[in-house]
Amino acid sequence: MKKMEQVHCPGDQHGEGNLVPDPELSSWEALPVLPDHQTQGVELVWAYAIPVLDKKKTSRLVKEVSAIYPLVGQGHLKRVRACPDKTSPHALEILLCLASQGGDTVEGVRPLSELLPSGQIDWSDLGEPYLVHVPAHPPFTRAQFEEAKLHWPTVFHENKHISNALQGLLFSKEDKAKMQIYMEKAIHTARQGAERGMKAVGAVVVDPATEVVLAVGHDCSNASNPLLHATMVCIDLIAQRQGRGAYSFNAYPACTISPSGDRAIPLPAKSIQPGVVRKYESRQDGLPYICTGYDLYVTSEPCVMCAMALVHSRIQRVFYGASSPDGALGTRYKIHSKEDLNHHFEVFRGILGTECCSLDQKKQGQQCVSSQL
C-alpha cells in the first residue's frame, strides 16, 4: 500500500497565508502523480534457478534452456547470475522459468526431471533446481532498479520521462511561467465564483499546441444542480465551443469560452512537453474526440465524478493545485492511471499549491490534505 501522510500547505508552515504569487516561481513544484507500479517497491515472484556445474557449458545451456522456456514478458530478467553464495561449489546459476503462482505460496520444489524432461537437455551439467525471488516487472526508476537487482540481475532501460518527472526536470522555467499563468486564471475564476456564493474552485482548459485558453469555468453547483463542479462546467464549455453542450451558463459571466477556430488544422506543435506527438482521436464527423490533446488546470484535485468525466472526455494532462480529501487523481484513487480503463492521462499536482490551498481553506475552514509521493 501507498504511504499516505497529511501535510500542511506550504503557506501554513509560515503561518501567514501570503497570497502574492512568487515572481521567481520558486514557491511551487509540479509534482507528478504516478501510477503505483512506477513508484512503489519492487514486486517479487517465485522462479526456478538451476546451478551450472560446468562453467564452460554455460552458453550452450542458456541456449537450450531459453529454447524450452523463452521467459516471454520477463525480458527484464537476465538469464545467468553469479552464485551469491561464495562457498557454493559452482559459480553460476541459470534462471529457468517462473514457478506457478498461487498467491504468496508455491507448491513444493519441482525436480529437474519434471522441469526439463529427459531428452530435452543434458542433466549432467546441471544441479538440482531451487526457488528464487525475481522482480515481476521491469524497473521504471533507478531506485526500483537498485532494489530489483538485489534479487536477480535485471536489465534497466531508464524511462527518461518518468525519471525527469521524479527529479522535477520535466518543465523548464519558461514552461512553469506558462503553467503559472493558466493556474492564476483558474484561481481568479474561482474567486469570481466565490463572490457569487459558489464553492471557490476554478478551472481552465488549454490547448498546449496553440497555447490558446479554450474555456474558463468555476464551480456552479448549488441546490438546483449539485453536479456542476468546475471540471464538469469546463467539459460542457468545450462541447459548447464545438457547437453543442448541455447547459447554459448565462447566469455565470465568468464561465467563458474562446471563439472556436478551425480545429481541423492544428497549428504546429509548440507543446510544453517535448517529445510528445499529438494525435487526435477522430470522431465520426472528423472532429477530435471532445478533449483530446487538451490540458486542464484546476485549483483543487477533482472528485471521482470529475476524474472519470475526464477519462470519458480523453483529456491529455491535468494540473491541479491543492489535493482534496476524497480526490481521485492521487489522494484516494489514481483514476488517470487505472490499468482497466481505456484512457490514461498524466497528472501533476502542486501548481501554485499555496494559493490553491488558501482558496479551499477559506471555504472549508480545514487544512489541506496532500498525499506524499
Return the residues of window 208-237 that contact Zn ion according to CB under 5 A: 229
Spatial neighbors of 205 by CB under 8 A, at least 6 apart, are 213, 214, 215, 216, 234, 237, 238, 291, 294, 295, 296, 297
Strand 212-218 relative to strand 31-32: parallel, antiparallel, unpaired? unpaired
- Interface mask (CB under 5 A) for Zn ion, residues 303-342, using x and -? x-xx------------------------------------
Strand 92-98 relative to strand 80-82: parallel, antiparallel, unpaired? antiparallel
Compare residues 135 and 302 and give the one whose CB is closer to other proteins: 302
- Work out which of 332, 350, 358, 370 binds other proteins, going by CB under 8 A: 332
Return the residues of window 190-229 that contact other proteins according to CB under 8 A: 223-227
Compare residues 33 and 165 and give the one whose CB is closer to Zn ion: 33
Burial of 104 (0-12, 13-18, 19+ CB in 10 A): exposed
Cα separation of 83 and 77, whole Å? 15
Cα separation of 3 and 40, whole Å? 10
Spatial neighbors of 70 by CB under 8 A, at least 6 apart, are none
DSSP state of 321: E
Return the residues of window 256-295 that contact other proteins according to CB under 8 A: 283-285, 287, 289-291
Q: Which does 250 bind (CB under 5 to 8 A by kind): other proteins, Zn ion, none?
A: none
Compare residues 77 and 235 and give the one whose CB is closer to other proteins: 235
Q: Does 303 bind other proteins (CB under 8 A)?
A: yes
Compare residues 271 and 371 and give the one whose CB is closer to Zn ion: 371
Q: Which does 309 bind (CB under 5 to 8 A by kind): Zn ion, other proteins, none?
A: other proteins
Q: How far is the CB of 310 from other proteins (least distance, A)?
A: 9
Contact yes or no for 205/213 (Cβ under 8 A): yes
Cα separation of 298 and 229, whole Å? 11
Q: How far is the CB of 312 from other proteins (least distance, A)?
A: 4
Q: Does 236 bind other proteins (CB under 8 A)?
A: yes
Cell of 365: 475552514
Of the candidate spans 23-31, 134-142, 153-161, 243-251, the one that interacts with other proteins by CB under 8 A turns out to be: 243-251
Cα separation of 242 and 39, whole Å? 38
Q: Beta partners for 360?
A: none
- Work out which of 61, 179, 335, 351 binds other proteins, going by CB under 8 A: 335
Q: Does 245 bind other proteins (CB under 8 A)?
A: yes
Q: Site residues (CB under 5 A) for Zn ion?
A: 229, 303, 305-306
